[in-house]
Amino acid sequence: MIPASPPALIELRGLTKTYGVGDAAFQALKGIDLDIHQGEFVAIMGPSGSGKSTLMNVLGCLDTPTGGSYHYQGIVVETLNADERALLRRFALGFVFQGFNLLARTSSLDNVELPLLYRGVPRRERRAKAVAALNSVGLTTKLGSTPAELSGGQQQRVAIARAIVTEPSTLFADEPTGNLDSVTTRDIMELLTRLNQDRGITVLVVTHDDHVATSAHRIIRIQDGLIDSDILRPAAAS
């Protein structure tokens, strides 16, 4: 008897997203069917306007679908209200953005503590968790540094530490290396790969960079609001 496959972490069926109404309506997603399992490292690619960022925003509960279904760990996401989606983001999802989104006059340690503050974690516990997260991304000596005192790569490492300090099951990274040089890009992708392999965090990266996408086990290409291709890389399949 063949064992049943484990349920998908993320399951999309007929997912659509339309902006505007009437003659001004634009359908950014036109019916996406997609399963992503726990522990995958997925790159989502496509040209500007293809729908890849819209898909990421819906997956990350930063936006809501117009139609179709989205299940996350069995939760029917499209039925959640704004507060419920915020709770799902707070307790299950982590985010890394191209622009780092760090508080400018705030230390690395305080930036990383912020999600735990929103959770109501006691000060001593959140401080310890933030220190551990910064240590894990190689910034042990930068705890008190503000973003202005850090390189772009170091700022992105702070952003990654902030994203993982809550121990999310899924990490969404939207063009995480878009503002970085090639050497720093490689370092950041190696860090994301290590988090995926060592911690089992599911990683979804939106990127236009083929070199960045090679870090992923699976490459999904979006074109005109639909999945154009979904390829498991040979190294991941072996």
The tokens describing 192, both together, are 């994301």
Q: How far apart are CA 45 and CA 69, in angstroms?
A: 22
Q: Which tens digit of pLDDT belongs to each residue from 143-196?
A: 999 999 999 999 999 999 999 999 999 999 999 998 899 999 999 999 999 999
Summary mean pLDDT of the chain: 92
Helix (H, G, I), strand (E, B) or coil at 138: coil
∠ CA 94-218-71 to the nearest 5 degrees? Answer: 50
- Listed residue (68, 81, 65, 61) closest to 170, CA to CA: 61
Q: Which tens digit of pLDDT belongs to each residue from 211-221?
A: 999 999 999 99
193, 201 contact by CB (below 8 A): no
203, 174 contact by CB (below 8 A): no
Q: Is the pLDDT of residue 129 over 60?
A: yes
Q: Which tens digit of pLDDT belongs to each residue from 7-23?
A: 899 999 999 999 998 88
Which residue ranges form the domains of the chain, and what is each CATH number? 40-64+81-237 (3.40.50.300)
The tokens describing 2, both together, are 């063949």
**Is the overall model pTM greater than 0.85, yes or no?**
yes
The neighbouring-strand residues paired with 205 are 43, 173
The neighbouring-strand residues paired with 102 are none
Residue 4's pLDDT is what?
A: 53
As a whole-number percent, the residues of the chain with pLDDT over 70 amount to 96
- 41 CB contacts (<8 Å, ≥6 apart)? 192, 193, 196, 202, 203, 205, 215, 216, 217, 218
